[in-house]
Amino acid sequence: MAEGASNRRRAYRKGHRGEWLAAQCLRLKGFRIVAKRFKTKSGEVDIIARRGKLILMVEVKARDSVEQAMDAVTQTALRRIEAAGDEWLIKQKNYASLSIRYDLIACLPRRWPIHIPAIYMP
């Protein structure tokens, strides 16, 4: 097996595990996970969670530090998350009454995920 393929597979598993941990973190905070890896032509949201009228569009980053996780979320990525989130939101019956927030969950080695609310304000 080529080294590149092995590295991609390892990165994929690390990201998938991070998303699972992030979802558990949100569930413990009282959120219901309504979508994972929601993809559209314009972008992707790692996790969409809901608690009451609050909808979280969550980007999950598995990195060695919170700073690295925050640096990994570019303005381009945020625009794609917003675009995909808007497409999900439009499909909801009561979309006008919902509040949307864009959060980051940093998954660090051997630590519980760190939830950083409101990383982006459109």
pLDDT at residue number 7: 78
- Which value, in Å, is the radius of gyration of the alpha carbons in the chain? 15
- At 78-105, the pLDDT tens digits run 999 999 999 999 999 998 899 999 999 9
Tell me the residue length of the chain: 122
pTM given for the model = 0.90
Instruction: Say if residue 90 is exposed, middle or buried (CB neighbours under 10 Å; 0-12, 13-18, 19+).
Output: exposed
Average pLDDT, the chain: 92
What's the CATH code, domain 3-120?
3.40.1350.10
Q: Where are the domains of the chain?
A: 3-120
